[in-house]
């Protein structure tokens, strides 16, 4: 069991570091908000927070630098062949973005790689 915890911690730390390097604006916002939460090992919670942050940024400035950096990070993760990383991306980020009411889904799809566009559009089977 301890080995599995170490794997989870490694994935969390790796994605956390990649995310904060790619989108430092999120790191600043996250550090302000996360003081009341314990995110250690909670990679899905971290990615959910990132998705909510991105949704707000898209509403404010859809073609802004922060949004561009965020989709760069998302597309970088989307190149992975690691099924856990892809699941974290799909469930932790893409599904949250898809279900946001004030987000233009076609705009989002246009920012995603071809591989991730397929994942993103699959949510139409489950959500209106």
The pLDDT tens digits of the residues spanning 41-98 come to 589 989 999 999 999 999 999 999 999 999 999 999 999 999 999 999 999 999 999 9
In the DSSP assignment, the letter for residue 61 is -
In the DSSP assignment, the letter for residue 92 is I
For the chain, how far is it from start to end, CA to CA, in angstroms? 40
Average pLDDT for 99-117 = 96
Instruction: Say whether pLDDT at 22 is over 60.
Output: yes
Global pTM reads 0.90
Q: For residues 116 and 70, give the distance between their C-alpha atoms in angstroms, rounded to a whole number.
A: 14
Residue 76, classed as helix, strand or coil, is helix
How many alpha carbons fall within 13 Å on the CB side of residue 30?
21
């Amino acid at each position: 069991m301890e080995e599995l915890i170490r794997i989870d911690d490694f994935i969390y730390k790796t994605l956390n570091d990649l995310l904060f390097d790619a989108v430092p604006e999120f790191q600043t916002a996250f550090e302000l908000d996360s003081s009341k939460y314990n995110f250690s090992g909670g990679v899905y919670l971290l990615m959910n927070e990132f998705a909510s942050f991105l949704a707000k940024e898209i509403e404010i400035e859809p073609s802004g630098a922060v949004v561009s950096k965020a989709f760069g990070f998302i597309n970088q993760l989307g190149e992975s062949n690691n099924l856990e990383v892809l699941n974290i991306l799909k469930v932790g980020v893409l599904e949250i973005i898809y279900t946001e009411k004030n987000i233009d889904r076609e705009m989002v799809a246009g920012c995603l790689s071809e591989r991730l566009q397929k994942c993103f559009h699959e949510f139409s089977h489950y959500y209106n």
